[in-house]
Every structure is written in C-alpha cells, then in structure tokens.
Amino acid sequence: MGVQGIIGRKVGMTQIYGENGAAIPATVIEAGPCVVIQRKTAAKDGYEAAKLGLVAKSKVKRISRSVKQCYEKIGLPPCRVSREIRVDADAEFQVGDRIAVDMFTPGDSVNITGVSKGKGFQGVIRRHGFSGGAKSHGSMFHRAPGSIGASAYPSRVLKGMKAAGHMGDARITVGNLKVERIDVENNLLIVRGAVPGAAGGYLIIIRKSGAPLKG
C-alpha cells in the first residue's frame, strides 16, 4: 500500500449534472502532481509519515539555503508547498516517487483538509448563532451576548464560554466527500459538495481507508 493522499489547490465551485438531470454542487480541485521528498519512520521520528511536495509550475526562486540543500541532497527541484501525510508502517514508496490524480477513481470517498476563510472579529450572533434580544421599540438588548456567569459563585467567567472573538481562519477537515469526476490530463479532481477555504487555497486530500486500491 502506497501513499493515499495528495496536495491540491482549490480552483472554485461549479455544478455538474447527474444521470437523472439533477444539478449537483461540486468543487474543482487541482490535485498534484506531487513528489515524495521525505520518509519518516517510527524508529527515527516517532511516527510513520510521508512528506509530499507539490510540483511547482514555475521555478521556486526565494528559498533558504538549508531547504535548498535538502532538495539538492535528494536530487529534486524545490517545492513551494509541502505537507506531511500519515501512512502505515508497511507502506511501500520511496523518495522521488510521483503521485498524481490518477490515484483516485470516481466513487471514492475522501477527507479534505484546508484552512477556512477568515472572518475577522465577529459577535456572538454571527460567530455562534445566538438569537439576540427583542427587536421591539425600547429594547436595549438586540445583539448582546447576555449573562456570561453568576455574581456570587463562582464569581468568574468559566472557561469555554461562547463569546465574541476571532472567527474563521482555522484548520477544518470535511469527511466522506464523493469523487465525481477526474481529469488526468489537467490534474483536476471534482468532488461533490464544498471544501474549506477560498479559491486558490491549498488542500490535503486523503483517500479513505477501506476503499479499493486502483491497480
């Protein structure tokens, strides 16, 4: 069993049509190609993982000397984006192996991880879905959070209290997304539904265990 994940970039959302003519919301992802740039083992690093690099379309110019030397050591061109993916101890792959979108087949289930859109500082109504107070004339409680604790005991605000604050810009994983179509020539992966992040954001697509391996 080899690496069951790949790095992708969100192109945007669209819709496709099923056999019955129903419109299906879908996300277009430019998946790979990627290359294995490092193998991490439990004996040396404490866990089993593969470090993948997204093959850059243009030459990577701004890169530190230490990173450049690491790529020269393995004989690969520098990658602008790299991510680690957990693998099984018996996974068979080597540094330099190429991973492309053809590792998926229509009907596969995938888990996709990305960084959600940042919304900045938001109040409790938008951030947590609070209902707010009355909208009637004279009300002075419209979008306030309400009581956040007792005055006598414990006389403090408990940890985890829902309040206004920073919203979005968090690492989110969406599971069980169905692969609808694959365009091997253009490295495109079309999955049903929405994925985290804005267009142009980088994603990690993991093929769910238990799905039949191609080949």
pLDDT in tens, 136-192: 999 888 999 988 888 899 889 999 999 999 999 999 999 999 999 999 889 999 999
Q: Is the pLDDT of residue 3 over 90?
A: no
- Domain containing residue 153: 119-168
Tell me what pLDDT residue 170 has.
93
pLDDT tens for each residue of 102-134? 888 898 899 999 999 999 999 999 999 999 888
E strands, 18-139, where? 23-31, 34-40, 49-54, 81-86, 98-99, 109-115, 118-122
Q: Is the pLDDT of residue 215 over 60?
A: no
Determine phi and psi for 74, rounding to 5 degrees: -95, -5
Residue 209 confidence class, pLDDT cut points 50, 70, 90: low
Residues 84 and 146 grouped into a single domain: no
Q: Is residue 214 part of a domain?
A: no
Per the structure, how many domains does the chain have?
A: 2
Residues 157 and 130 grouped into a single domain: yes
Cα–Cα distances in Å, from 114 out to 30, 49, 71, 174, 185? 14, 19, 25, 9, 24
Residues 152 and 132 grouped into a single domain: yes
Residues 125 and 56 grouped into a single domain: no
Residues 98 and 175 grouped into a single domain: yes
Q: Cα–Cα distance between 182 and 35 in angstroms, integer?
A: 19
Q: What is the CA radius of gyration of the chain?
A: 23
What is the 3-state composition of the chain as percent helix, strand, coil, each rounded to the nearest 5? 10, 40, 50
Q: Tell me the whole-structure pTM to 2 decimals.
A: 0.80
Q: Maximum Cα–Cα distance for the chain, whole Å?
A: 72
Residues 130 and 65 grouped into a single domain: no
